[in-house]
């Protein structure tokens, strides 16, 4: 038998965007169901604990009578023709599915790392930079290990900072963007961000940071032993125990797609009040466009106001404009160089779930053919990793490929998808 709850608003996501929406909604008397697959609020950035003032605010709000928290629950499906979401309890696998329903939904689903394949990227010891950081934040023992971080964007530095703080030996942080692109990005940063960057730079002083360089190959027989790096003119080998790669972030749009929201440029399409193309459904934060924590916070707040029928103030609109201009600067400053799309060879695995190599995929005409002929994208991640890679490397556009999203959004037992 399933448990069913209803409320005025469902907020999916307890990262910064979801967090910023909760207080205004509760203050206005709305009954809120707050869902996240994580065990506590924080999202990606505050995985190890909320920053102030949010820690204080959220701990004061958690006992609120109007708030039902379903943490440790993942949304796996949308019930036909309604805003009713089906959840599975990830902490108690035997527990029955939970159904939640409300006339309004805020999608604050965040983003995931973008992976690009290169020979050896599936070796044990190689992970996403954010994944490595998440492991470190979950107290994975990294002290004394030789770590290389390679890819692009601020997340590389954040991961480097976490590795350094946990006692890792930082061998190299390799940023693929060139010096000129980075200088252009820095010139557009507001003072507060420059201050944060300077603080990070100070903590990472003495670390080997190189621009215009990238990983070409991960080397090892059973597990990672070294990386082959390139700066376009020369290549060199660097021994290491862990490699974290980060090539930017991709918005999580699957639940929005399942609901029927329009997607634009890979993100959930929203208007100035964060309303999606569906009446009553709003989106905020990384899922509505990559831009970092400040953008997520202000968008969560603006979305909550819009759900209450209120407009954002001039100050809030200005903050949002600043955050979106930072997002644009990020996209330009850390644009990926074309060489990164040429690293995989015919034997390089693209679909890690079903062991499908690039050579096999090049024989296919489309994503659909690839699925039918090779099972690419049919494994546990359901194309979340290899789908975007195929789009980048083989030019198979998402819509034309029929990379349509289907329930369940996460692997789930059949019993969780059916009522008794
Ligand atoms: C791996 C990783 C590490 C990062 N580390 C940093 C960092 O150290 N510093 C930094 O400035 N930025 C970091 N970022 C960038 C980060 O995305 C933002 O700065 C910030 O966390 C965005 O807030 P958000 O609320 O939009 O999304 P998130 O913080 O990602 O929150 C989204 C939440 O939605 C939940 N969710 C998604 N789908 C479902 C579902 N189907 N069911 C239930 N819950 C769901 C997730 O569990 C998550 O808690 C990281 C990003 C990634 C992907």
Query: CA 411: distance to chain centroid?
Result: 18
Which atom of ligand 1 lies nearest, measured to the CA of 16? Answer: 25
* φ and ψ at residue 223, rounded to 5 degrees: -150, 175
Mutating to test ligand 1, I would choose from 11, 13, 203 the residue with most ligand atoms within 8 A of its C-beta, which is 13
Which tokens go with 300? 């969560």
* Domain identity same for 13 and 76: yes
Q: What percentage of residues in the chain have a pLDDT greater than 90?
A: 80
Handedness of CA 368, 373, 374, 379 (dihedral sign): positive
pLDDT in tens, 212-257: 999 999 999 999 999 999 999 999 999 999 999 999 999 999 999 9
238 and 149 in a common domain: yes
Question: Is 24 close to ligand 1, i.e. is its CB under 6 Å away?
Answer: no
Distance 249 CA to ligand 1 centre (A): 10
pLDDT score, position 2: 58
> In sequence order, what are the residues at sequence separation of 6 or more whose Cβ sits closer than 8 angstroms to the Cβ of residue 342?
none
- 417 within a domain of the structure (yes/no): no
| Residues 27 and 106 grouped into a single domain | yes
Answer yes or no: do 81 and 153 share one domain.
Answer: no
Mean pLDDT, rounded, for 110-117: 96
Q: Which residue has the higher pLDDT, 73 or 189?
A: 73
Q: Both 184 and 286 in a single domain?
A: no
Identify which of 334, 173, 337, 158 has the alpha carbon closest to the alpha carbon of residue 242.
173
Give residue for tokens 């692997």.
Answer: 411
Q: Same domain, yes or no, for 287 and 381? A: no
Considering the entire predicted model, what is its pTM?
0.93
Mean of pLDDT values over 162-176: 95
- pLDDT, tens digit, for every residue of 13-49? 999 999 999 999 999 999 999 999 999 999 999 988 8
State yes or no: pLDDT of 270 exceeds 90. yes
Question: What span, in angstroms and rounded, lies between the C-alpha atoms of 200 and 279?
Answer: 42
Cis geometry, peptide bond prior to residue 408 (ω within 30 degrees of 0): yes
CB atoms within 10 A of CB 103: 14
Same domain assignment for residues 205 and 220: yes
DSSP track, 362-384:
HT-SSHHHHHHHH-TT-STTTTT
DSSP state of 414: G
For ligand 1, whether the C-beta of 35 sits within 6 Å is: yes
- Whether residue 217 sits in one domain with residue 258: no
Both tokens of 405, joined, read 């999203």
Q: Where are the alpha helices (DSSP H) in 207-246?
A: none
Which range of residues forms the domain containing residue 265?
3-111+250-312
Q: How many domains does the chain have?
A: 3
């Amino acid at each position: 038998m399933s448990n069913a709850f209803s409320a005025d608003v469902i907020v999916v996501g307890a990262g910064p965007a979801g967090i910023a929406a909760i207080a205004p909604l509760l203050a206005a008397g709305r009954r809120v169901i707050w869902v996240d697959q994580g065990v506590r609020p924080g999202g990606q950035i505050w995985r190890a604990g909320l920053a102030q003032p949010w820690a204080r605010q959220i701990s004061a709000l958690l006992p609120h009578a109007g708030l039902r928290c379903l943490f440790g629950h993942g949304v796996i499906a949308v019930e036909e023709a309604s805003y009713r979401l089906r959840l599975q309890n990830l902490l108690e696998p035997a527990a029955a599915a939970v159904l939640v329903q409300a006339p309004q939904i805020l999608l604050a689903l965040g983003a995931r790392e973008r992976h690009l394949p290169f020979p050896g990227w599936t070796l044990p010891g190689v992970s996403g930079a954010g994944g490595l950081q998440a492991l470190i934040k979950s107290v994975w023992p990294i002290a004394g290990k030789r770590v290389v971080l390679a890819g692009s964007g601020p997340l590389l530095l954040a991961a480097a900072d976490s590795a350094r703080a946990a006692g890792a030996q930082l061998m190299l942080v390799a940023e693929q963007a060139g010096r000129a692109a980075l200088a252009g990005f820095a010139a557009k940063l507001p003072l507060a961000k420059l201050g944060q960057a300077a603080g990070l730079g100070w903590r990472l002083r003495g670390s080997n940071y190189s621009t215009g360089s990238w990983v070409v190959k991960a080397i090892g027989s059973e597990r990672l032993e070294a990386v082959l790096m390139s700066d376009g003119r020369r290549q060199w080998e660097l021994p290491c125990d862990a490699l974290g790669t980060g090539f930017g972030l991709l918005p999580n749009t699957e639940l929005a797609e399942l609901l029927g929201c329009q997607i634009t440029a890979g993100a959930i399409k929203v208007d100035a009040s964060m309303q999606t193309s569906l009446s009553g459904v709003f989106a905020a934060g990384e899922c509505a466009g990559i831009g970092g924590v400040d953008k997520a916070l202000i968008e969560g707040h603006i979305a909550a106001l819009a759900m209450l029928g209120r407009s954002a103030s001039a100050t809030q609109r200005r903050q949002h404009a600043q955050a979106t201009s930072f997002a644009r600067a990020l996209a330009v400053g850390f644009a990926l160089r074309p060489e990164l799309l040429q690293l995989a060879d015919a034997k390089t695995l693209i679909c890690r779930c079903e062991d499908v190599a690039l050579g096999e995929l090049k024989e296919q005409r489309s994503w659909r053919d690839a699925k039918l002929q090779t099972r690419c994208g049919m494994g546990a991640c359901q194309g979340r990793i290899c789908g975007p890679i195929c789009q980048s490397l083989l030019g198979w556009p998402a819509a034309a490929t029929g990379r349509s999203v289907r329930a369940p959004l996460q692997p789930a037992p059949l019993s969780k998808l059916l009522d008794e």
